[in-house]
Amino acid sequence: MKNLHLLRMTGGAAVYTAAIVFDKVLHAEILSIAFYIGAYLILGGDVVFKALRNLFKGQVFDENFLMSIATVGAFLLGETTEAVGVMLFYQIGEHFQDMAVEKSKKSITSLMDIRPDYANLLSGDGFEKVSPEQVKIGDLIIVKPGEKIPLDGIVKEGSSMIDTSALTGESVPKNVQVKDAVLSGCVNKNGLLTIEVTKTFGESTVSKIIDLVENSANKKAKTENFITKFARYYTPVVVILAVLLACFAPLFLGADWKVWIQRALVFLVISCPCALVLSIPMGFFAGIGKAAGKGILIKGGNFLEAFNNIDTIVFDKTGTLTKGVFKVTEIKCENGFSENELLEIAANAEAFSNHPIGQSVKNEYLQRNSERDSEVDKNNLRDYTEIAGLGVSVLMDGKIILAGNKGLMNKYGISFFESQEAGTKVYVAKDNVFAGCIVISDEIKKDSAGLMQALKKAGVRKTVMLTGDDPKIAEEVGRVLELDEVRGGLLPHEKVGIVEELNAQKPKKGKLAFAGDGINDAPVLAMADVGVAMGALGSDAAIEAADIVLMTDEPSKLLDTMNIARYTNKIVWQNIVFALSIKVIFLGLGAFGAASMWEAVFADVGVSLLAVLNAMRILYNKKL
């Protein structure tokens, strides 16, 4: 299609050149007119056809109509050179605009390259190449070095470095091994991986990203809608003004009809709203493309524009500001027990537990004793009992080991010191003697540090954290991160109520954003002005409900999103002011006969092209 347009444009230019030679050099009038008409049909035939087609659809006032009326009128007035020249330069401008738009699209459409072509499905006789759509949940697939991971899954065998840049924008490869989750669209760099599929292709990360990208342009920003409506009223107004311009002076002042009709035709060419109609959505498209290259998926221009006016940002805690991985952060020993003894006793007590708290205690013990096996020795353990809501008890070498909360200590009448540290406390006793306390906390992401101050500098008025976690833990995280407001111990419906309160408190033009990753965050993500999901680890429901997805799970990407949104808004309004200013100046010049058809072409096509090139600055701005 693009090559056909270039061929037609080149052919039309050749016929137009021949027409000028016959007209200006050889003075062969009949031949020159024939060649002018031929060149016009080649260069402007599609424009006239679109104008007629739209006319029958009731869509009268568009750029095709304006170009057709102006150039046909110029032909009738004997201005054949200008009439064909307008169409030639219009087509040249359109060609360069298409090139600019194509360039900007590459930042988004390059994401289409992550779509896998096949999957190596493991079977009894080896493996076979199949379409990713044929693979089912639970199937095993082989991914060789250099191949794309076709579906989401868990590594069952092997280890490797994988390139996640297509999803996250991060250039540093990630190491994966057995039990690690991997996402479709990543590229296996070196090792051979056997992966158990956890999602069908339609539900996989790669499919959802492609769907987001393909539909992102459908949701227009308010500025885009405003310009579309503006052009709808603007075009008929300028047509009426052109008619008045052509008729007023000849009818009432006895002026030359040809002169004023020619001015009216120039006025029509200048008035084409192409620069506004094309460059504004182009700006938002470029902004979405820039964000996609940084691992930020924005579902529409309206959400990018909304992020320009963020007043309040509400955060979930676990998995958003914190890692969502429990880790031992404090060990307090009592009654002569050492840290390693305390950990050993607690790890044995939690040997049969699958709870994240118990797992973190075991992991800490095994990490400190790396020469041991990957599991706690259970041969010396007897009578393991889980005590609902309190903890566990077990016999180790004939002695009772207790591990749990303070209620467990009270139940067995054990004298203990209550820890005041923020976090989940595991109190441990051996043979009715208090051994100490292990504090387990969800680690704060390094990326979260300093984020709130940076957001404040960027103009965010209020930062809030809402979590279902213990209020004391929430307060400690809030203190470290310097949040304005923290509320803990919340159920999902309570989060919704608080967000409604915060929405009522924000300024009229201010927007509220909510960032979360859990399935329980989906209702709040949906009701916020802008919902942001932490995509790499976030739940499917959260990603589905969100307006923006951060594929790297880095909350600092919110700042990047804000910077891109603001720069995009700046470029968009530059284009609006520039295009309207040039239009007004040249419309005045055209009305008073100071602008010819050639200036009219610049005012229309030239301004459109400059506005599109200006929008492309978003893609090439290295500071964003």
Active-site residue numbers? 316
DSSP strand pairing (433-444 vs 462-466): unpaired
Give the residue carrying structure tokens 């992966």: 195
Question: How far apart (Å, rounded) are the C-alpha atoms in residues 372 and 351?
Answer: 14
Question: How far apart (Å, rounded) are the C-alpha atoms in residues 495 and 612?
Answer: 43
Q: Which of 524, 493, 476 is nearest to 321 (CA)?
A: 476
Per-residue tokens: 350: 């939690």
Burial of 418 (0-12, 13-18, 19+ CB in 10 A): exposed
- Contact in structure between 441 and 327 (CB atoms under 8 Å): yes
Question: How far apart (Å, rounded) are the C-alpha atoms in residues 149 and 139?
Answer: 14
Q: Which of 63, 95, 93 is nearest to 269 (CA)?
A: 63
* Cα angle for residues 320, 323, 325 (degrees, 5° grid): 135
- Encode burial over 347-383: b for 16+ CB neighbours within 10 A, e otherwise: bbbbbebeeebbebbbebbbeeeeeeeeebeeeebee
Q: Which of 238, 190, 297 is nearest to 538 (CA)?
A: 297
Question: How far apart (Å, rounded) are the C-alpha atoms in residues 94 and 98?
Answer: 6
Give the residue carrying structure tokens 């180790």: 396
Sign of CA dihedral 430, 434, 438, 439: positive
Per-residue tokens: 46: 């599609």
The alpha helices in 412-537, defined as continuous H runs, are: 451-457, 471-481, 492-505, 522-527
Main-chain dihedrals φ then ψ at residue 399, nearest 5 degrees: -115, 140
- Contact in structure between 148 and 186 (CB atoms under 8 Å): yes
Question: How far apart (Å, rounded) are the C-alpha atoms in residues 292 and 295?
Answer: 5
